[in-house]
Structures are given as structure tokens and as C-alpha cells.
Amino acid sequence: MTDLIVARGLGKSFGQTRALDGVDFRVAPGRIVGLIGPNGAGKTTALKALLGLTRFEGELSVLGLDPYRQRHRLMQDVCFIADVAVLPRWIRVSQLIDFVAAMHPRFRREVCEHFLARSDVRRTSRVKELSKGMVTQLHLALVMAIDAKLLVLDEPTLGLDILMRKQFYDTLLNEYFDEQRTILVTTHQVEEIEHILTDLLFIDRGRIVLDAAMDEVQEKYAQVSVRPEHLAAARTHKPIAERQGLGRTHMLFRDIARPELERLGEVAVPSVADLFVAVIQGARA
Amino acid sequence: MNRFFWLVRREVWEHKAIWVAPLVVIGCVGLLLLTGRVEIGSINFDHTPLAGLATPEQRITLLMYAYSALALVVDMVMGVIVFFYAIDALYADRRDRSVLFWKSLPMSDAESVLSKFAVAAVAIPLVGLAATVATQLLVATGESAKLALAGEAAGFLWEPRALLGSIGIAIVWCITAILWYAPVVGYLMLASAWAPRSPFLWAVLPPVGLWVIESVVLGSERVGDFITERLFVLPYLIRLHGNEPGHKEPVNDAEKIEHLANIDLYGLIGDFYRTPDLWLGVVVAGLLLAAAIWVRRYRDETS
């Protein structure tokens, strides 16, 4: 199957700042891709370019369309939640559903009703009367009822409590995602989404610093709690990160044979957060 | 077309003033009727001098004035609503960031802008027209009921040439106003789409600034005249007609009535179509709208 998103030399400047500095990546269908980077790394700019909300340099194709020129057509097959609480505050829930049903050819009202039935969102409420969590539930119910090929989520759970966040991702994974759909998500709370991601894209200072599938990552990278007597030996393998914790030194290695690592200490799969810190620091060094 | 209906419907959901304000006006007129305070100019329906006027022709014309004065009240209220609606139309959703939600739906910015323009420039004036006719009928009904109770003849209030004539004028004026004010609405919407913040200032300051600068630096009032003529219409008509030779200001009531009765209201509205200003304005409105759509479509939404 052809790639859903192809970016080649994607660039964008704001004055002197290069928000995106020649970014290349591809996203295949049926993946859940985490676009992860520190603040100001260019995540939101990249997503806005994908959604046709901003001009860009370079080549970008989303579902075979130029998002900037063909945004209207693109939105038939792409859904996005740009941020929490961007639903219009004055509208009633029932009006919102009616409107989306009238405007979106791929909206299935019964699916939306099904998701809303499990929440506390009342049809007669105005959005401004709902709690932040309920607004997110409502937005998610609307989006999940749209039969889209690509769903883009930019910090969809910002400001929600941990229960809401967990519920959000569980619903997304179990009831929405399938082989035909693709999800691109950015978030600061990496730990909460790492178990649902199939691919990682790390971005820093407008550049992609890591582009790998999760299973590749698990093969390539390993975290070792190095026993004190093996410290020197471990360092000869050039760990990409090293930190102290609970009397042990934890080192992150790339492309080192498993048996060799097991000799040095206990080997574990690194968390995305640890990997992220190591890769970003490595890229900046 | 169905999509357009829903887009317009969305605006009516959001802006209740569109239908609440005219209802309030009708309510106020009704209240004033009950308290016997409907006084229009020097014509008092309660102690009508109309019935005793010289000729039936004059009476009809003056009644048309009275009914049209009611239209003026409704028009002013609707004008204020159009102003604030248009200036907020493409800004409010950027301020609360809900534009990011609207832009996630498969609808074009042209659809969105044109639906809002249709509401401001066409739908609100049509609501105003309905409210005008309702107010006129309300006053005719109320006043004739009061006269009948007092045992006086009330039939003249229902004089078809006066009542239907006023409604006719309201309709013709509504159509003319839609065309005449289209560039004003277009301008306000462009300011609304473009303003980084405070669209009111962005819309008002440039023309007012030009007006002040011109009058201070050049000592002329071209910009000021242009603005007041477009907004308030009457200065435009006065310029169009000039002061007729031999014209003298009416001094007493009889002369005033005589003077008013000789003005042809349909003719006044017809004058709009005799100069290119109206149609130039329509062309300018199209350009301003195209610009508003372009700005709406291609501006980078800051986040």
C-alpha cells in the first residue's frame, strides 16, 4: 500500500527561526505514529502543514493531496483535534451533532450517539456548561463517528486528569483504530501513549532525530542496569545515555549485541521517555 | 444549497439578537401603543390632525411617512445588529480558537464567509423587513382599535394606498439597502477576518483616521462626506438633489405638511439607481468579500 503521508524537505520559517528545517518522513496506513519533541521543536508546525493550515516549503503529500491547495477535499478524509476545548462554547450539543451530520458526508450519527451514551454529556447542554473532560469526550465522540483515513491529534488530552487521559486513549485504541486507519498524535505525556504507538518520530529544533517503528526500537535500543564492577567495560560500548538511579548506573545502548549487554547487567526495553531524552541530548551534543 | 442552509442556521443559533432584537422592538412599539405614546413627528395618532387634513392625497402621503418612520426605527436597530455581527463574524471563532474546529470539517472558507455575509447583508435586512411590516400592521390595528373605542372613524388608517404603499416602500428600500450596504458589510467582514485583535478598532480607525487627517491637512471633507453618505443615506440624497432653486424652508406646520406631501418616496429610492454609486458599491463588495475569503483561507492561525 502506498504511504499516506510523504514529506520531503518540509520547511517553515518564522522570521529568523527555522521551525521546520528540511524534514523528511513517511507514514504508512494503519499505523499509530507518535510525533514527539520538546516545546518549540516544530511539532505543531508540522501538523499544521499536514492539515493545510499553514504554508510550507518542500514537498508534502497527504492522501495524495497537497494539503495547502486541496485542504477542502483533504478534510473529507482527515479529522483532527487541534487542542482541547476548541469546540465553540455557545453551541448546544444537539446542535453540534446536527451540524456535523449535515456538513460531513462521512459522519455516522449513531456511532456518535453510541459514544456519547456512555458519557455524562447531555444533548441539551451548551458546550460552555460542560467540564473540560466532557468537552473532550464530546469532541472524541464526534471525531470517532467520522469514517476518516487519518486522524491527527495535537495534545488532545492536555489539562485532563489521568483517568480521563487513560480512558481517551483506551477508547481510541480499542474502538476506533483499525488497519484502515492511521493516527498521528503529539503529546507531552509520552508514557501514557507508548503502549499504543506503532511508530516513533522524534523531532527537535525543526529536524527529525529519530524515525523508527516500535519493534525496531526495541531491537536496536536496550537499557542496562550496569553492575558496578562492569562500569568501565560498559562505557567502552559507548552508551548513548547514562544516569544514576537507586545505586545503579543505567545506560542506554544502541546496536549492541544482546549477550554482550546481559553480561554487564539486567537488560530492559527502554521507555520512550528515556529514549527521547537520550536521543535529543545526543542530537544536540 | 442544503449545506448553505445549515451554515446560515449555525449563525442564527449563535446570534440570537438577529431575531430577539426585532421582537423587542415590536414589543416596545406595542407597549407605547398601549400607553398612547406613539407619536411620530408632529403626527399624533391619538388626536389625529390627519383626518382633518386638506386633501386625501396629503393624508395618504403623511400616513406613509408615519408608517415609514416606524420602519426607520426598526432599520436603525437592525443596522446596529448588522454592524456588530459583521465585525465579529470572522473574528470571534479565532479569538476562542473554535476556528480550528470549524476548519476540521469539510467546508470551504468561501462557503463559510459567504454564509456569514448572506446573514449580515441579506438575512438580517429581511428579518428587519418582516419586523417593519409587523410593526406597521400592529400600529394600524392598535390605533384603529383605540379610535373605534372612542367612537371615531378609523378607516383612514387602513387606507390601502397608505398602508400597502408603506409596505411597498419598505420592500423596495430593503432591496436597495441590501445593495447599498453590501460594501459596508464586506469591509467590516474583511476587517473581521484580518484583525489580529480588536476588529472594531481595525475597522473604525482607518476611515476615521483618514477623515481626520484629510480635514486637518487639506481642510476638505471628502472622506467624511463619503462615509456619512454611505452610512446614513440622507446626506447622499441631499447632495444628489442639491438645494432646488426657489426652495425656502417651511416655517409653519401647514407649510411643512405641504412640503413633505410633495416628496415622492418611491422617487427618492429610485434615485439610488440613477447614479453608478450603488452598482460600484456592489462591485466593491464583491472584491472585499473575495479578500475576506482569501485572508480567512490563507492566514496562519497562531496557536
Burial (0-12, 13-18, 19+ Cβ within 10 Å), B97? middle
**pTM of the complete model:** 0.88
Chain B residue with CA closest to A99: the answer is: B6
List the single residue in B6, B14, B96 with the smallest CB-CB distance to A103: B6
Average pLDDT for B76-92: 95
Which one of B88, B95, B103, B104 makes the best mutation probe of the A interface by having the most chain A beta carbons within 10 Å? B104
Which one of A43, A62, A78, A86 makes the best mutation probe of the B interface by having the most chain B beta carbons within 10 Å? A86
Task: Report residue A213's pLDDT band, with 50, 70 and 90 as the boundaries.
Answer: very high
What are the residues of chain A with a beta carbon less than 8 Å away from any beta carbon of chain B? 44, 48, 51, 53-55, 72-73, 75-76, 79-83, 85-92, 95, 98-100, 102-105, 139
H or E stretch including A210? Answer: strand A207-213
What's the pLDDT score for residue B175? 95
pLDDT at A73 over 60: yes
Task: Report residue B257's pLDDT band, with 50, 70 and 90 as the boundaries.
Answer: low
What's the pLDDT score for residue B154? 72
What's the pLDDT score for residue B244? 55
pLDDT at A101 over 80: yes
Mind listing the pLDDT tens digit for each residue in B117-171? Answer: 999 999 999 999 999 999 999 988 888 887 788 777 777 778 888 889 889 999 9
Average pLDDT for A59-75: 92
List the single residue in B13, B104, B303 with the smallest CB-CB distance to A75: B104
The amino acid at B211: W
Residue A252 neighbours by CB distance under 10 Å = 20
Mean pLDDT of chain A: 89
pLDDT at A219 over 80: yes
Q: Does B1 contact A at CB distance below 8 Å?
A: no
Q: Quick check: A83 and B13 CB within 8 A?
A: no
Residue B79 phi/psi, 5° resolution? -60, -45
Average pLDDT for A263-276: 88
Using CA atoms, how far apart are residues B241 and A46, in angstroms rounded to an integer?
A: 61
Separation in Å, CA of A61 to nearest CA in chain B: 18
Mind listing the pLDDT tens digit for each residue in B156-197? Answer: 778 888 889 889 999 999 999 999 999 999 999 999 999 998
Q: Quick check: B13 and A104 CB within 8 A?
A: no
Q: Name every chain A residue with its beta carbon within 8 A of the beta carbon of B103.
A: 51, 53, 75
HSE-CB for B224 with a 13 A CA cutoff: 10
What's the pLDDT score for residue B38? 57
B positions 59-98 inside 8 Å of A (CB): 93, 96-98
Report DSSP state, residue B273: G
Mind listing the pLDDT tens digit for each residue in B37-49? Answer: 654 434 554 445 5
Question: Rg of the Cα trace of chain A?
Answer: 21
Question: Rg of the Cα trace of chain B?
Answer: 22
pLDDT at A189 over 60: yes
What's the pLDDT score for residue B177? 94
**Is pLDDT larger for residue B69 or for residue B75?**
B75
Q: Name every chain A residue with its beta carbon within 8 A of the beta carbon of B3.
A: 102-103
Mind listing the pLDDT tens digit for each residue in B47-71? Answer: 455 555 556 777 777 788 888 888 9
**Is pLDDT larger for residue B50 or for residue B97?**
B97
What's the pLDDT score for residue A1? 55
Q: Name every chain B residue with its beta carbon within 8 A of the beta carbon of A39.
A: none
Q: Name every chain B residue with its beta carbon within 8 A of the beta carbon of A100.
A: 105
Using CA atoms, how far apart are residues B19 and B85, in angstroms rounded to an integer?
A: 13
Q: Which residue has the cell 529544533?
A: A205
What's the pLDDT score for residue B46? 43
**Is pLDDT larger for residue B249 or for residue A28?**
A28
The closest of A65, A29, A67, A32 to A48, measured between CA atoms, is A67
H helices of A22-131, where?
43-50, 71-74, 93-103, 109-117
Q: Does B256 contact A at CB distance below 8 Å?
A: no
Using CA atoms, how far apart are residues A31 and A120, in angstroms rounded to an integer?
A: 31
B positions 106-125 inside 8 Å of A (CB): 106-108
Lowest mean pLDDT among A31-40, B6-15, B51-60, B178-187: B51-60
Q: Quick check: A88 and B6 CB within 8 A?
A: no
Average pLDDT for B22-46: 72
Q: Quick check: B104 and A89 CB within 8 A?
A: no
Lowest mean pLDDT among A270-284, B60-74, B232-246: B232-246
Which one of A90, A93, A124 makes the best mutation probe of the B interface by having the most chain B beta carbons within 10 Å? A90
List the single residue in B10, B101, B103 with the smallest CB-CB distance to A53: B103
What's the pLDDT score for residue B303? 41
**Is pLDDT larger for residue A30 or for residue B234?**
A30
Are the C-beta atoms of residues B142 and A141 closer than 8 Å to each other? no
Mind listing the pLDDT tens digit for each residue in A9-20? Answer: 999 988 888 889
Q: Quick check: B3 and A103 CB within 8 A?
A: yes
pLDDT > 70 fraction of chain B, expressed in percent and rounded: 85
Task: Report residue A190's pLDDT band, with 50, 70 and 90 as the boundaries.
Answer: confident
